[in-house]
Amino acid sequence: MRLNKERGTSSKQSSQPDQPNSSVQPENAETKATTTDSKSQWLSAHNDFVAGLNTVSSCMELSDLWGDGSINLILADYGNILLPKLQVKLKVFKGFTVAKESNLTDLPCAVVACFMDNLQPRVPALAVASGSAVFVFKSLRPYYKFTLPQLEIHEVEKEVWAKAKEGNIDVRAMNGVLNELNRSNTVPLTYKSLMFLRLASRDEALQFVEAFKNTELKRQSSITCMKKLNKTSADEDALSCLVVGTEDAKIYIIESEAFTILATMKCPSPPAYLNVSGGKRYWKHSLPSIITAMCLIDYRPKAFQAVAVALGNNEIHLYKDKFLVDVIQVDDVVHAMRFGRFGREDGTLIMITKNGGLIVKILKRTATFEDTDVLHGPPKEQNMKIDVPKRTKLYVDQTLREKELAETMYRVFQQDLIRLKFLAGKEFLKSIQSGLTPVAKTKTETIRINAEIPILVNGMEYGFCTFVSCITDKVISDTVKVLVCRRDTNTPLLSAVINMPVAEPILNV
Amino acid sequence: MRALTEQLYVDEVEAADDGLADLLDENAFANIPLPGTSMRQPTANPNATAGPTGPSPAMRPMTQSGRPITGMIRLNTQSTQGKSVENALKTARTSTAARPVTTSTGRFMRLGTASMLSSPDGPFIQVARLNFQKYAKSQALARPLFEHLFYHVNDIGSALQLARLANEATENKDWYWLVQLGKCYHRLGMFRDAEKNYLSALDIQPMVDIYLYISKVYTRLDQPLLAISKLTDGLTKFPQEPFLVQAMARIYEGLNDTINCMNQYRHVLKLDNTNVEAIACIAANYFYTDQPEISLKFYRRLLQIGCVNSAIFTNIGLCCFYSQQFDMVIACFLKALSCANEDIERSDIWFNIGEIALYTTEVNLAIQCFRLALVYNNDHAEAYNNLGLVELQRNNTDIGRAYLQTAQSLAPHMFEPQYNYAKSMHQQGDLQSSFRAIKSSLELYKNHADSKQIFDELTKMFAEL
Q: What's the confidence (pLDDT) of residue B357?
A: 92
Q: What's the confidence (pLDDT) of residue A500?
A: 66
Residue B252: HSE in the Cβ half-sphere, 13 Å Cα cutoff: 21
Is B195 inside a domain boundary?
Answer: yes
Among A310, A341, A346, which residue's Cα sits nearest to residue A328? A310
Q: What's the confidence (pLDDT) of residue A296?
A: 79
Q: What's the confidence (pLDDT) of residue A377?
A: 55
Domain count across chain B: 1
Query: Which residue of A lies nearest to B105 if distances are taken between CA atoms?
Result: A505
Q: Which residues contact A102 (CB under 8 A, 6 or more apart)?
A: A89, A90, A137, A140
Q: Provide the pLDDT confidence category of residue A478 given band limits of 50, 70 and 90.
A: low
Among B393, B318, B392, which residue's Cα sits nearest to residue B354? B318
Query: Which residue of B lies nearest to A407 if distances are taken between CA atoms?
Result: B327
Is B168 inside a domain boundary?
Answer: yes
Does an H or E element contain A316, and which?
strand A315-320
The answer on pLDDT for B123 being more than 60 is: yes
Average pLDDT on A341-366 reads 81
The residue range of the domain holding B172 is: 1-226
Domains of chain A: which residue ranges?
155-212, 393-432, 441-499
Out of A197-201, A399-403, B168-172, which region has the weakest mean confidence (pLDDT)? A197-201
Q: Nearest by CB to B368, which of A425, A500, A504?
A: A425
Q: Do A505 and B327 touch (CB under 8 A)?
A: no
In this predicted model, what pLDDT tens digit does every residue of A119-136 receive, in sequence order?
A: 777 778 888 888 788 888
- A433, A434, A440, A443 alpha-carbon torsion, rounded to 10°: 20
Q: Taking a C-beta distance cutoff of 8 angstroms, is the pair B286, B292 a contact?
A: yes
CATH of the domain at B147: 1.25.40.10
Q: Which residues contact B6 (CB under 8 A, 6 or more apart)?
A: none
Q: Do B325 and A394 touch (CB under 8 A)?
A: no
Q: Taking a C-beta distance cutoff of 8 angstroms, is the pair B279, B250 a contact?
A: no
In this predicted model, what pLDDT tens digit does every residue of A443-458 receive, in sequence order?
A: 333 333 333 444 555 5
Q: Which residues contact B4 (CB under 8 A, 6 or more apart)?
A: B115, B124, B148, B152
Is B113 inside a domain boundary?
Answer: yes
Q: What's the confidence (pLDDT) of residue A2?
A: 37
In this predicted model, what pLDDT tens digit does every residue of B326-361 receive, in sequence order?
A: 888 999 999 999 988 888 889 999 999 999 999 888
Chain A partners of B331 at a C-beta cutoff of 8 Å? 416
In this predicted model, what pLDDT tens digit does every residue of B425-464 receive, in sequence order?
A: 888 888 888 998 999 888 888 888 888 888 998 888 888 8
Among B321, B318, B313, which residue's Cα sits nearest to residue B346? B313
Chain B partners of A505 at a C-beta cutoff of 8 Å? 105-106, 109
0.90 surpassed by complex ipTM = no
B46 alpha-carbon distance from chain centroid: 16
In this predicted model, what pLDDT tens digit does every residue of A48-59 receive, in sequence order?
A: 777 778 888 778
Among A409, A171, A176, which residue's Cα sits nearest to residue B321? A409
How large a percentage of chain B has pLDDT more than 70? 75
The answer on pLDDT for A413 being more than 70 is: yes
In this predicted model, what pLDDT tens digit does every residue of A134-180 receive, in sequence order?
A: 888 887 778 888 888 777 777 777 777 777 777 777 777 777 777 77
Q: Which of A420, A470, A479, A500 to mutate to test the interface with B (most CBs of B within 10 A)?
A: A420
The answer on pLDDT for A409 being more than 60 is: yes
The answer on pLDDT for A363 being more than 70 is: yes
Rounded to whole angstroms, the Cα distance separating B250 from B32 reads: 23
Q: What are phi and psi of A129, to 5 degrees?
A: -90, 130
Among A199, A223, A224, A226, which residue's Cα sits nearest to residue A210? A199
Task: State whether residue B324 is helix, strand or coil.
Answer: coil
Q: Do B95 and A502 touch (CB under 8 A)?
A: yes
Is B27 inside a domain boundary?
Answer: yes
Q: Which residues contact A371 (CB under 8 A, 6 or more apart)?
A: A320, A321, A323, A325, A380
Is B36 inside a domain boundary?
Answer: yes
Q: Do B100 and A502 touch (CB under 8 A)?
A: yes
The answer on pLDDT for A415 being more than 80 is: yes
CA distance B231 to chain A (A): 32
Q: Provide the pLDDT confidence category of residue B28 given band limits of 50, 70 and 90.
A: very low
Residue B394: HSE in the Cβ half-sphere, 13 Å Cα cutoff: 15
**Averaged confidence pLDDT in chain A:** 72
Q: What's the confidence (pLDDT) of residue B370?
A: 92
Q: What is the DSSP string of A327-384?
A: EEE-SS-EEEEEEEEEBTEEEEEEEEETTS-EEEEEE-TT--------SSSS-GGGGS
Q: Which residues contact B209 (CB under 8 A, 6 or more apart)?
A: B13, B179
The answer on pLDDT for A323 being more than 90 is: no
